[in-house]
Structures are given as structure tokens and as C-alpha cells.
Amino acid sequence: MAILIPSPDISSRRGAHLLEGHPLDPGCPVRILQGMRDPDVPWRHAVALVDLLDGADVELTLIKDGDHRLSASADLQRLTAAIATLVARQQ
């Protein structure tokens, strides 16, 4: 499995990097919220990504009825809470 991580210049593929199964330490906390009913990104891809991340502060939240957009009220609350928790830790 290869995971594409776009560079800051996401308008082109020139700066893209493939993990190709190699571990990655992002150097920061990682929170992944993944809908299990996402037709575009299978939730198992998120599990595989977590396996590749070396950092100790990695959390994956699988949302059983979540789709690709995670736009339901409960999904938005989860996203907001995840961001608020990370911001509070930095203050």
C-alpha cells in the first residue's frame, strides 16, 4: 500500500511523497477522524496509516455512520473537540 502525502504545493504532483510502507514520525500529535461509510477513502486505509506513524501521540476515531465529509452535527462536534483539545495543550 502506498499513501500519498501532498506537498504544500498541492496543485501539482511534483512534491508528492509515497510512504510505501515505510514508518513516518510526523513530529507532532496526530488525530484522524474517519467515517466508516466513506465511499472514497476506506476506513482500513486510516488504520494502515496509523500503523505507519511512529509517533506516540496518534489517535484514530472511527465513526461508524460517518461518510467522507463528516458533516453531520455529531461529526462536527467530534472534529471541533479534537481541535480544541490539541489547541488547549499548546497554550
Render pLDDT for 35-59 as a digit per residue (tens, 0 to 9): 999 999 999 999 999 999 988 899 9
Which pairs with CB-CB distance under 8 Å and at least 24 residues apart come from 70-76? Answer: 70/33, 70/35, 75/33, 75/35
Residue 4 domain-assigned? no
Residue 5 domain-assigned? no
Residue 17 domain-assigned? no
Residue 57 domain-assigned? yes
Residue 18 domain-assigned? no
Q: In the structure, what pLDDT confidence band is assigned to residue 1 with cuts at 50, 70 and 90?
A: very low
The reported pTM is: 0.76
Residue 6 domain-assigned? no
> Structural domain tally of the chain?
1
